[in-house]
Chain A
Amino acid sequence: MERIPILKMGPFLLVTIQVDLYDRLALTLENDLINMVSKTEAKGVLIDISAVSIVDSFMGRILGNIASMSKIMDAATVVVGMQPAVAITLVELGLTLAGVHTALDVEQGMELLRNKIGQLDTDEEGLYDSFI
């Protein structure tokens, strides 16, 4: 079965969606991602959707679910790289992805996540710097 790879980068998980998602694939991603958050005790999840041309209400709900579930497990979710056409469409559709953080690209997303978990002690922070 088709799966979307999840990369571990230090305390973060990075998912780059590069295929057109159909519903089952999106559900599988939600499931895999939440399991990975739990297994790796990740502090942040970055979902790069810059290559995604269509986000409908189902996909929007999955993104919202991932954010809410991760939050319960103390991980922040950032959706990065949404295309302008997709953003305009989502607004028209009536979906604002409340609770999901957004950033323009992976770099800014990482920065945002690092600020979110900035309370961690400096030793560890130095460790993250070497990853970025």
Chain B
Amino acid sequence: MIVLSKEKLSIQKEQDVVLFRNRIKELATKIGMSLVNQTKLITAASELVRNMLRYGGGGITQLEIVSKNSIPGVRLVFADEGPGIKDVTLAMKDGYSTGKSLGLGLPGAKRLVNEFDIKSEPGKGTTVTIIRWKNGL
């Protein structure tokens, strides 16, 4: 996998989310991603960035255009230094929430992207990495 472009964006307050979404849209449009695939990617990003704000107290996002077997895609990394997740398997289950949400955030985001990776250490923070390829496969 080759990284074609890379940038970082700090998310500290809700208004940053709008800017972040717009930036993803620009990247996805640049590689020619279809509207449906773009919407899925941005929705997943929206879920993850909310988690980062709500549970991680904000953090740093990294936006990249990557390429594998000459198929381009967008990779997003969400890193916070919040309390972390105790049981990642449980957090990935539909309908589970420690807050008062629907509990669709993490599992839903996973369904909306092609590659999903979560690493969390209690007390240190959580890092989620997602990729959506241009062709959606």
The chain A residues found within 8 Å of chain B, CB to CB, are: 20, 22-24, 53-58, 60-61, 83-86, 88-89, 92-95
The secondary structure that dominates the A interface is helix
A-B CB contacts (within 8 Å), total count: 67
Closest beta carbon of chain B to A18's beta carbon, Å: 14
Stretch at the interface among B35-43, B83-91, B115-123: B35-43
Is B17 on the interface with A (CB-CB < 8 A)? yes
Question: Could you tell me if B47 and A57 are in contact, using CB atoms closer than 8 angstroms?
Answer: yes
The chain B residues found within 8 Å of chain A, CB to CB, are: 14-15, 17-18, 21-22, 35-36, 38-40, 42-43, 46-47, 50, 94, 101-102, 104-105, 107-108, 111-112
Question: Could you tell me if B46 and A54 are in contact, using CB atoms closer than 8 angstroms?
Answer: yes
Residues of A within 8 A of B50 (CB): 23, 56, 58
Question: Could you tell me if B94 and A54 are in contact, using CB atoms closer than 8 angstroms?
Answer: no
Closest B residue to A93 using CB positions: B108
Question: Could you tell me if B39 and A85 are in contact, using CB atoms closer than 8 angstroms?
Answer: yes
Residues of B within 8 A of A84 (CB): 36
Partner of B40, one of A20, A22, A83, A92: A92
